[in-house]
């Protein structure tokens, strides 16, 4: 290995490992790979012997063994390693994170190290294929669902949202120390933090499973999925809040303008005037909230404002024409119900368009 690869330490968060960890570390030594940092994430005393072997392997080669109890989660283990690198290895390019259960081969880890060196301003993802018979159903189904949900909520499409094999640039790694998420949801939060900031570079990797029966995962399908979707849901809830509060602002302003200009403007034009003034202000408010709070956009304000205005106009026309058309075709269905359904669908579509088009930054797309 050349000098640059030595500047990309390998981080391995580990909870209740088996001998596969020792095998992996011995392979690292044979291949003369980068220093390894192992974090014992609160494993019980019965695992002390394995970790003692691990420490004996990595420390003579510049590695570091860190341990604490009780278990705090994968996200906290990664942050602990990031803190160590920040404080003790200032000259590194970044780090590569890998799992301790033998899923990631030394060759695949080396490919991620190489990709990070070649793309020092990108997050590198070692992406797995989930169509093989040896892939546990929990991993296959869970990843496919999360990909679709993540793509809709974040506007970023990646092939593997939960891969543990990642190359992380130093500056980004340092910022992630204060990022939300202490368990598996941290890896999802990491991807969200990339939006508008880092490119995501994908590298195909081979995933190794001993068998469907023997493969063990500490990922809880219910608890950890709830944590992941909670992170994704927060963003959409912010979008709903922005829309609802804009509606409230619009109604209040409409009432205020009607009172202020009553008598000053002919009654025939009062409603139209108040509606336009209220809508302009509430739409501006909605734009500011979406730009700063919901999508945290880094797109140009002028460009995004024009796009937002176009979208608002198109959405208004789509609502009017769709409701009118459906009411004509289905006269027995209540008009209010039709409008509620149409506007709900347009509301969901508008979120995706704002995410991908109106407030999109140039660095969101995975390579």
Question: Could you give the CA distance from residue 323 to residue 136 in angstroms, rounded to a whole number?
Answer: 46
Higher per-residue confidence, 149 vs 227: 149
- Apex CA 173: angle with CA 163 and CA 108, to 5°? 35
pLDDT given for residue 42 in this prediction = 93
pLDDT tens across 158-182, in order? Answer: 888 878 899 999 999 999 999 888 8
pLDDT given for residue 249 in this prediction = 92
- Token digits for 257? 């303008």
Q: CA-CA distances (angstroms) from residue 109 to 78, 95, 172, 321, 332?
A: 16, 11, 19, 55, 63
Is there a contact between 126 and 203 (Cβ–Cβ < 8 Å)? yes
- Apex CA 187: angle with CA 293 and CA 66, to 5°? 125
Residue of 170, 193, 192 lying closest to 81 (CA atoms):
170
Residue of 192, 196, 198 lying closest to 150 (CA atoms):
192
Residue of 207, 161, 165, 227 lying closest to 366 (CA atoms):
161
Q: For 22-36, 124-138, 180-194, 348-362, which range has the lowest pLDDT when averaged over its residues?
A: 124-138
pLDDT tens across 67-80, in order? Answer: 999 999 999 999 99
pLDDT greater than 70 at residue 219: no
The 3-state DSSP class for residue 164 equals coil
Residue of 184, 190, 188 lying closest to 218 (CA atoms):
184
pLDDT given for residue 265 in this prediction = 80
User: Does CATH number 3.90.550.10 belong to domain 5-221?
Assistant: yes
């Amino acid at each position: 290995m050349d000098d640059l690869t030595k500047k990309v330490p390998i981080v391995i968060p580990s909870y209740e490992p088996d001998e596969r960890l020792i095998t992996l570390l011995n392979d690292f030594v044979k291949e003369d790979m980068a220093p390894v940092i192992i974090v014992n994430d609160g494993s019980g005393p019965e695992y002390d012997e394995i970790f003692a072997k691990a420490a004996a392997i990595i420390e003579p080669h510049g590695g570091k063994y860190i341990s604490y109890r009780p278990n705090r989660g994968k996200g906290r283990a990664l942050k602990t390693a990031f803190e160590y690198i920040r404080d003790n290895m200032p000259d590194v390019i970044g780090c590569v994170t890998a799992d301790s259960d033998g899923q990631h081969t030394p060759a695949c880890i080396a490919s991620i190290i190489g990709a990070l060196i070649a793309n020092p301003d990108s997050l590198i993802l070692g992406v797995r294929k989930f169509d093989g018979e040896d892939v546990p159903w929990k991993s296959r189904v869970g990843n496919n669902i999360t990909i679709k949900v993540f793509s809709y909520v974040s506007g970023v499409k990646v092939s593997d949202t939960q891969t543990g094999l990642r190359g992380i640039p130093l500056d980004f790694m340092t910022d992630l120390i204060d990022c939300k998420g202490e368990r598996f949801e941290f890896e999802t939060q990491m991807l969200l933090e990339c939006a508008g900031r880092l490119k995501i570079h994908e590298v195909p990797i081979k995933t190794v499973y001993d068998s469907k029966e023997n493969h063990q995962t500490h990922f809880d399908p219910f608890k950890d999925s709830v944590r992941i979707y909670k992170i994704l849901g927060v963003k959409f809830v912010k979008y709903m809040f922005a829309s609802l509060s804009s509606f409230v602002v619009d109604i209040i302003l409409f009432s205020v303008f009607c009172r202020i200009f009553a008598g000053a403007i002919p009654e025939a034009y009062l409603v139209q005037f108040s509606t336009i003034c209220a809508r302009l202000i509430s739409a501006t408010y909605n734009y500011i909230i979406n730009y700063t709070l919901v999508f945290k956009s880094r797109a140009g304000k002028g460009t995004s404002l024009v796009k937002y205005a176009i979208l608002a106009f198109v959405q208004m026309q789509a609502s009017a024409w769709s409701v009118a058309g459906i009411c004509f075709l289905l006269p027995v269905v209540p008009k209010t119900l039709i409008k509620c359904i149409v506007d709900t669908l347009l509301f969901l579509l508008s979120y995706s368009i704002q995410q991908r088009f109106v407030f999109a930054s140039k660095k969101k797309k995975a390579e």
